[in-house]
Every structure is written in C-alpha cells, then in structure tokens.
Amino acid sequence: MLFTSLGLSEPILKAIEETGYTEPTPIQAKAIPLVLEGKDVLAAAQTGTGKTAGFTLPLLERMIQSQKPTTVSKGKPKRHIRALILTPTRELAAQIAENVDMYAKYLPYKSTVIFGGVNINRQISTLKQGVDILIATPGRLLDLASQKMVDLSKVEVLVLDEADRMLDMGFIHDMKKVVKLIPKNRQTLLFSATFSKEIKALAAGFQTNPFIVEVAAQNKTADRIAQLVHPVDKSKKRELLYKLISEGQWHQVLVFTRTKHGANKLCEYLEQQGINSAAIHGNKSQGARTKALANFKANSIRVLVATDIAARGIDIDMLPHVVNFELPNVPEDYVHRIGRTGRAGREGEAVSLVCVDENDYLRGIERLISQQIKKVVVEGFEVDASIKAEPINQGGGRGRRGGGGGQRPSNGNGNSRGGNASGGGEQKRSNSRSRTNNRGARNNSRGSSE
C-alpha cells in the first residue's frame, strides 16, 4: 500500500513525499481510513511506528474536506480552533507540533503549541491572532481557559496522544474539565502504545462507538529491540553503567532513573568519570531541557539521564542504546522507555540494571510483555546473595503537579495558574491502575508530567 491510495489530498502527499516516506506503517494504514470516515478511533501500536502521522494526516485531510466559511474580522480571516491535540509532556507536545508543521506546510492552516515552563504572554498573543490546530498540555490549556484566552467551542476533532497517561489518575480530572469546554458532537481519537483494561473502560466515556485498531499484541515491545537484564547490587550500578558505556564504546545513551535527585547524582558521577552527560527532568527549566535534548540529538553530549518525562515524546533517529538504571514501578512505562530505541524498524538495545529490590518490578514487566528477558551477570559484578530486598523509596514530593500539566500545585513550586511557569513535573501521584504482584496488591505512584 502507498500513501497515494489512502485518499489524501495533493498538498499532504507532497509534504509526505518530501519526508522520504512512500508506504504507510501498519498503524497508519489501518487508522487513516477510519479517521477519514469520521469515526472515533482507539489505536494501539508499538512505540516508533508512526502513530503521530496516523492521526495528523487524516486530521488535516478532514479539515480540507470540511472547509468552513471564512469569517472576516477587521479585514482579516478569523480562525477558530478546529483540532485540539493533547499530550502529557512538553517534549511530546513540541514533537507533535513539528510533525503538524511538516505535514501542513502546503496547507493554509495555522497551528501552535502551548505548555508550561515558558512565558504565557507569548502564547496568549499567538492565540489572539487565531489558530486552526492547537497542541497543548492540559495544565497550561486550563490556565488559559480560566483566563478566557482560549475558545474551544468550535473544536471538531479531539486527539489524545499517549492516551493511557492522559486518562489515568494524574490527568483524568483535567481531561473532564477540558471535555466540558469542547462540543459533544466531535470526533475523538485516542492513540498510545499501551492500553490497560481500566484505561479502555475510561476511554469509553470520551468516545462514541470507537473503532479499536491494534497492529500488534497489547503492550508488546518491538522485535528489533534487543532486551537484556544485568543483575547487580544496587551499590555497584554506577560502576557497571560506566563499564558498559566506556568498554562498549557507546556514544549515544539514554539512561532512565526513577527520581530527579537520582538523575542529577548519576549525571554528576558520569561527568566525574569523563563522560559528557546532561540530566533532564521536571525540575529543570524548559530552556535547560530543550538545550539538553538538542545537544543529545546532535551527539555533543554522550549520555542523557532522564526520568520518565522522557519516556514519551523523545524521538531520536537511530538511538542505539537505552539503559534502565532503575526499573519503573509501573510496567507500562518500561515499554515506553525502551521504545525510544528501535524506532521506525531500526534495531536498538535496551539494557536494565536490576538489583534485588527490583525483582518484583521485573516480574511485573515480564508478565506485561509476555516474555522472559535474558539475564546476564557481568564478571566482577556478581550479586551478593546475602543482601535482602528492601522497599524502594520513590522520592519526589507528594501531592503536587508541575510544569504546566496535571493539577494545581499545592506549594510554591511548579506551574501556577495564570503566570509564567517554571519547574514542574516528576512528583508522585496516585495511579488508578493498581497492580497485583507476588507481594500482593500495591498502589502505584508515578511521576506526573507537564
């Protein structure tokens, strides 16, 4: 199948051609026709398989086909927000905005992206000029809505990217507020790599008779990602990571930690060992996050140490290595983390350093992805069998959201309503998706996003 057979207009096809793509991915081939028919869609596919284009391309085509009469105000065409795309993080919002601009370059539509951590007045100014497509994180969107600076009354299409995160306890209340601001008669598209049964049940409240599109088994990791676990004592993880990077001559490595403090400390250690590194997490300013990511993509830094804020939204061509320095406490986050490598059919490697405290987390991940991950003990880093498992301290401050999303912060840090925001978003939050493991039921906490 070629893009030319999907019913897309010439301006869109021209933009696609310039990207070098000719054939749609399976998720695109299945989702695009349904979206073009005006159906509500719940789509699940592995990370790195082109989900963004899967909703962006037909969204643009629908806008072409349903052209509205242009109203004129003070001699200029008056634009209304016709499509609203919501994402959990700033990085993902910015990435989607780039894709929208790329595919709409030969169309007359204007788009913009809004999120916390940057000057709100510039965003207000852009919105006043009028936009057709708005990409946003929920917190900043509600900030602007409370100030009557954004009008969502004419939205025709609502898209939730990384919909599982958008519908869990960290965002569900904000999502319900947003839905009240947009027309009931709309098309709703939900896209993600992972959907639990609980999230699917919540999604039913946002969609009407949705078509479910799945191009792979639920929560399956990409076949081209080589997964490996190195059992290791907690106290030796840093040294093992250094050995892997230096002796393996890894030159571009994305490393995940569980907390912001852990990310900072690991970055400091790597720098001391002569490995150029940077940290990215919710306490970093948006400028610092943008710079660190840009430097990592440009290979001017060797290691990017991140919390789960980077698990969704970082798209790096041919990223060879992802390392879980610490396993996530929610299994689905493992799928999103390692999905930063092995994208667009390329090969990648995902290595997890697992101490005895994390064995239950590992078992939960293996159950989710329905496979046993190969374990290899590195010589000199054998596990001390006398060390007993201890409860994992998640870190972070309880009960506050930040960085332009989630809820209003309960203290002075993070994003405040109606002002210029900074800081924000890795704090613990209640999760609706409680998991049951060998220790019994546990209530998960996850770092909130923007």
Q: What is the pLDDT of residues 118-134, one digit of tens each?
A: 889 999 999 999 999 99
- In this structure, which topology does domain 3-214 adopt according to CATH? Rossmann fold (3.40.50)
Strands 445-447 and 211-214, bridge-based pairing: unpaired
Long-range contacts of 405-414 (CB under 8 A, 24+ apart): 405/88, 405/89, 405/115, 405/116, 405/137, 405/138, 405/139, 405/140, 405/171, 405/174, 405/448, 405/449, 405/450, 406/138, 406/139, 406/170, 406/171, 406/174, 406/448, 406/449, 406/450, 407/139, 407/173, 407/174
Q: 385 or 398: whose pLDDT is higher?
A: 385
Tell me the mean pLDDT in the region 181-207: 87
Res. 109: pLDDT tops 60: yes
Res. 309: pLDDT tops 80: no
* pLDDT tens digits, 262-302: 999 999 999 999 999 999 887 888 788 889 888 998 899 99
CB-based burial, 309-331: b 16+ in 10 Å, e otherwise: bbbbbbbeeebbbbbbbbbbbbb
* pLDDT tens digits, 31-49: 999 999 999 999 987 766 7
First to last CA, the chain: 37
Tell me the mean pLDDT in the region 390-409: 46
pLDDT for res 144: 96
pLDDT for res 391: 86
pLDDT for res 220: 57
Q: How confident is the model at residue 169 (pLDDT cuts 50, 70, 90)?
A: low
The residue ranges of every structural domain in the chain are: 3-214, 225-375
pLDDT for res 399: 32
pLDDT for res 11: 96
The residue to which tokens 């350093």 are assigned:
353
- Based on its alpha-carbon atoms, the radius of gyration of the chain, rounded to whole angstroms, reads 22
* pLDDT tens digits, 219-262: 556 667 899 999 999 999 999 999 999 999 999 999 999 999 99
pLDDT for res 401: 33
2 CB neighbour count, 10 Å cutoff: 12
CA 323, distance to chain mean position in Å, is 17
pLDDT for res 221: 60
Across the chain, what does the average pLDDT equal? 82
pLDDT for res 318: 77
pLDDT for res 78: 78
Res. 444: pLDDT tops 60: no
pLDDT for res 285: 81
161 phi/psi in degrees, rounded to 5: -90, 145
Which residues is 353 bridged to in the sheet? Answer: 230
CB-based burial, 411-421: b 16+ in 10 Å, e otherwise: eebbbbeeeeb
Res. 372: pLDDT tops 90: yes
> According to the 3-state scheme, what is the secondary structure of the chain?
CCHHHCCCCHHHHHHHHHHCCCCCCHHHHHHHHHHHCCCCEEEECCCCCCHHHHHHHHHHHHHHHCCCCCEEECCEEECCCCEEEECCCHHHHHHHHHHHHHHCCCCCCCEEEECCCCCHHHHHHHHHHCCCEEEECHHHHHHHHHCCCCCCCCCCEEEEECHHHHCCCCCHHHHHHHHHHCCCCCEEEEEECCCCHHHHHHHCCCCCCCEEEECCCCCCCCCCEEEEEEECCHHHHHHHHHHHHHHCCCCCEEEECCCHHHHHHHHHHHHHCCCCEEEECCCCCHHHHHHHHHHHHCCCCCEEEECHHHCCCCCCCCCCEEEECCCCCCHHHHHHHHCCCCHHHCCEEEEEEECHHHHHHHHHHHHHHCCCCEECCCCCCCCCCCCCCCCCCCCCCECCCCCCCCCCCCCCCCCCCCCCCCCCCCCEEECCCCEEECCEEECCEEECCC
What is the torsional sign of CA 210, 211, 215, 220? positive
Q: How confident is the model at residue 343 (pLDDT cuts 50, 70, 90)?
A: low
User: Angle 331-338/359-369 helices, nearest 10 degrees?
Assistant: 70
- Decide whether 3-214 matches 225-375 in CATH topology: yes
- CATH architecture designation of domain 225-375: 3-Layer(aba) Sandwich (3.40)
